[in-house]
Amino acid sequence: MKILCNFAVQRNEENWIFTNFYPRNCIYFAHSDEKCAKIRLRLTFMPIIRIALLASGSGTNAENIVRYFSGRKDVLISLIISNKPDAFVLKRAEKLGVPSVVMAKETLEHPDSLLAVLTEHKIDFIVLAGFLLKVPAEVIRSFPGRILNIHPALLPKHGGKGMYGNRVHEAVIHAGEKESGITIHLINEQYDEGAMVYQATCPVLPDDTPDVLAARIHLLEYEHYPRVIDETLKKVF
């Protein structure tokens, strides 16, 4: 969105200083057409998209996502939420300078509490990064098409309630699958049944253990999840 209009400004030796006030949570890039007290400006309006990451464990995906968007002026990782007070993702959040909140399972069962935190931090989009609890239906309805999840297998196979981490990889190996991978999808009110956004595959080798397969899957997650989040934001906003 570009706006062409006149604004009163003051100029010091190097910079133009705007005397009017702009809405919050937006960035304006100004380009002067002439050097005078009143100049004609072309303003490029860029809203800031604020993301909340929800994670339950170590947070390697969360850190990877934060680093991917670091320095971006249009996207901000505003908050990390965990349901476990001892989750290592909270230490990562502190190291990365991202605000974090612990919300126990009992608290998350009351969606008004989660919605209040998301509203307080002006969240526009939610990313699940190893979050083991079901997102309340009221939250899903409040963020339609704006909650993204990653699953460590090729849905619709090996998904559903209780299917996470090595449980998934054990099921893949036990089923004799020749390939596995990741599925990035929007969420709905059912486990792992939301609209698919992206899949990437990797081989399952005859001597794979769940840990070996998990390491191969993690590489796919690190490579693709931040990029797919970025592409999804461009479509949604």
In one-letter notation, the amino acid at residue 75 is V
Give Cβ neighbours of residue 150 (< 8 Å, ≥ 6 apart): 61, 128, 129, 182, 183, 184, 185, 221, 225
Catalytic annotation present for 158: no
Strand-by-strand arrangement of the 38-47 sheet: 16-18, 2-11, 38-47, 26-32
Closest of 147, 127, 146 to residue 236, by C-alpha: 146
Q: Which of 151, 158, 169, 185 is labelled catalytic?
A: 151
Show the CA angle centred on residue 221, arms to residues 122 and 237, nearest 5°.
35
Give the long-range contacts of residues 202-206, CB within 8 A, separation 24 or more. 203/178, 203/179, 204/172, 204/173, 204/177, 204/178, 204/179, 204/180
Q: What is the rounded distance in angstroms from the CA atom of residue 119 to the CA atom of residue 122?
A: 5
Active site residues: 151
